Amino acid sequence: MKIGILQCDATNENFRDEHGDYPEMFISLFQSIDPELQFAVFDVRLEQYPQTSQECGAYLITGSRFSVYDDEAWIRKLEKFVVEMHSEKHPLLGICFGHQMIARALGGKTEKATQGWGVGVQSYRKTKTKSWLKPDLENFSLCASHQDQVTQLPLGAELIAESEFCPNAAFRIDDHILTFQAHPEFEKAYSKVLMVLREQILGPEIFAAGVKSLDQSIQPQVITNWMINFLRKGEPT
């Protein structure tokens, strides 16, 4: 399978040598589960897109410092691409900004959350039992970094995971769209770097709680297995 990564941001160049760029994070994570997976990268900020949807078997929209409601031409073009992929029922994954973009493009709502910033390790509850949600895990934790949230799911979406802080933490539409608010591609070391970078924005209480949360374990490989299983129409790896 070939996955097209739709890159919506880049890591800070001061941290790139140590942590890599966002496509590299995803490629490393997915290939740790299935080394035979292939990837292509399209920087949608530069309006780079596949010639046809069939160029890749699935697409993944990354996170971004931008908001999906920002008035940026590249964001509006990406929104149209999501609608096209949905109309074709072409497999599509969304992470953080990607999760929010897919929701907005398909009629849901994304806005700045009244809860404020969600950073560090966040914990979630699985809300459904599906054949592709293997290995089975009722509760899971991942690194997160966001102040926007999906506040209304799009028509036809099924909630997959939730938390008190983030009620719409993951959803799917039929067997071709799956999204997560949190970042399975983030290691805890990179999560800490981001928090330090944004310490003044976060404020002392959120920053301190976020750093302390890094003592908890995370399960990115499990969630990546779920995504790969989903793309393979329910066949566990």
| Count of C-beta atoms within a 10 Å radius of residue 157 | 21
> Rounded to an integer, what distance in angstroms lies between the CA atom of residue 135 and that of residue 227?
11
Among this protein's residues, is 183 annotated catalytic? yes
- Choose the catalytic residue: 99, 146, 176, 183: 183
Among this protein's residues, is 96 annotated catalytic? yes
Among this protein's residues, is 24 annotated catalytic? no
Peptide bond into 50 cis (omega under 30): no
| Count of C-beta atoms within a 10 Å radius of residue 112 | 13
- Choose the catalytic residue: 96, 99, 143, 166: 96
| Count of C-beta atoms within a 10 Å radius of residue 206 | 19
- Choose the catalytic residue: 56, 86, 176, 185: 185
* Strand ranges inside the chain, DSSP E: 2-7, 38-43, 58-61, 92-95, 109-112, 118-126, 139-146, 148-152, 157-162, 170-173, 177-180
Collapse the DSSP code of 16 into the 3-class scheme (helix H, G, I; strand E, B; otherwise coil) and give the result: helix
State the catalytic residues: 96, 183, 185
